[in-house]
Structure 1
Amino acid sequence: MNLQELSAAINMLGALCGPRGKNFLAHVEVPAEVQAAFAQLQTVYGTDTRAANPAYAIK
């Protein structure tokens, strides 16, 4: 799966499972390429993450 296909899949899921679909997805398979990219980023950034933006919280 290339980046364009992954982006399209994410957009499709967002359209199907938006805020009204909260807690709808029971399981999501994360592609090995994404897991590998995340592992590579962790070697640079460690476990640092940014705080969630409250402007995007579901109300």
Structure 2
Amino acid sequence: MQGNPDMPFSDYKTALVTGASSGIGEAVVERLCAEGLQVHALARSADKLAALAQRT
């Protein structure tokens, strides 16, 4: 993900990501967690979502 100067991550504390268990949604969750945001992730696959939660 490339930073958007108009919306720096540091201005936000919480994010909601849908489709978070794979693909772009998974990458977004990983990046937002790395930036220190509290992430609420939604997905159809509870197992994949649990694995993502363990990694981040």
Fold shared per TM-score above 0.5: no
Higher helix share: 1
- Give the alignment's TM-score, normalised by structure 2: 0.30
Q: Which has the higher contact order (CA 8 A, sep 6+)?
A: 2
Higher strand share: 2
- Give the alignment's TM-score, normalised by structure 1: 0.29
